[in-house]
Amino acid sequence: MRKHTTSQGDMWDTISLRYYGTEKAMASLIDVNPIHRETTIFSGGIVLDIPDLDTTTINMKLPPWKRKKL
């Protein structure tokens, strides 16, 4: 599991996009960081856990034209 220190203005979807290549994994991020579940826009300096996920499975749920080349 990795760590991410937020910058002012970070949001769940942009963090998911950065680490997994898709916004669809943001639910997994929220699940492992329940104390911040109600946060929409982060202030800077908050440390979040970033779980290791199988992005192949996430990627296959997207339509073919949106799939990231792995």
Query: Rounded distance, CA 68 to CA 55, Å?
Result: 10
Query: Rounded distance, CA 50 to CA 60, Å?
Result: 21
Q: What's the predicted TM-score (pTM) here?
A: 0.76
What's the pLDDT tens digit per position in 5-19?
999 999 999 999 999
- Please identify which residue in the block is written with the tokens 């949001």: 11
Q: What confidence score (pLDDT) does residue 53 get?
A: 81
Q: Mean pLDDT score of the chain, rounded to an integer?
A: 85
Q: In a 10 Å sphere around its CB, with 0-12 CB exposed, 13-18 middle and 19+ buried, how is residue 15 labelled?
A: buried
